[in-house]
Amino acid sequence: MDLLLDNGFFLLKGAYYTLLITVISIFFGLIIGIAVALARLKGSRPIRWLARAYVSVIRGTPALVQIFIVYYGLVDYGITLDSLTAACMALSINVGAYLSETFRGAILSIPKGQTEAAYASGMTSWQALRRIVFPQAARVAIAPMGNTFIGMLKESSLVAVIAVTELLRSAQLLIAQYYVNMPFYLGIAVMYWVMSTVFSAILEQIEKRLSKAY
């Protein structure tokens, strides 16, 4: 316990980077996910094929391999990224594939009659999506999105392998310094649990607000 208290600030700094990576990856993952979902639903045949291939490849390969490809593989082509940028890029691409399927399923769950009614009232396709489909799809998607977000928070620990000093990497550095394992691993397990619980509470409140609005 004393070791945890003495090194609490160092671990909190690692937790900050864990949250930073998670938030950035989720933000860009949301953009990617919406774009890919719309590409699969509204795009031309080649675009739909590319979107489907992207989802298949990302979901069918380990996130760790994707991190290595972005951080080490791109170097072969003259693209060198710092570890934090590479981590956020790889995780954004990863979570975007999963979110795209969530969005696609949520959009498909909206009755077609509502879209047809929007067209009949003079709305364009984009207006119908923005005013009718997206708000309802967001309510449907929020629960599975929450599971994806919490999974991303825990999956961010993978970037420790490319020397990003997030929470797990911080614990590993302290273990190498003190030659003690259990206090630090238990400590970061509690910290991950607290962050996951807070994420869940925030998402639950968002879900309740969306349920009341629609």
pLDDT (tens digit, 9 = 90+) per residue, 39-72? Answer: 998 888 999 999 999 999 999 999 999 999 999 9
Q: What are 72's two structure tokens?
A: 């080490």
Least confident of 34-38, 114-118, 136-140, 151-155: 114-118
| Residue 214 predicted with pLDDT over 70 | no
| Residue 127 predicted with pLDDT over 90 | no
> What pLDDT is attached to residue 97?
94
Domains of the chain: 2-213 (1.10.3720.10)
pTM of the model: 0.87
> What pLDDT is attached to residue 67?
95
What mean pLDDT is predicted for residues 122-140? 76
Could you give phi then psi for residue 158, rounded to 5 degrees? -65, -25
Percent of the chain with pLDDT over 70: 97
Residues in the chain, overall count: 214
Q: What is the band of 84 on the pLDDT scale with cuts at 50, 70, 90?
A: very high
What does the DSSP assignment read for the chain? Answer: -HHHHHTHHHHHHHHHHHHHHHHHHHHHHHHHHHHHHHHHHHS-HHHHHHHHHHHHHHHTS-HHHHHHHHHTGGGGGT----HHHHHHHHHHHHHHHHHHHHHHHHHHTS-HHHHHHHHHTT--HHHHIIIIIHHHHHHHHHHHHHHHHHHHHHHGGGGGGGT--SHHHHHHHHHHHH---HHHHHHHHHHHHHHHHHHHHHHHHHHHHHHHH-
Least confident of 54-63, 73-82, 131-140, 163-172: 131-140
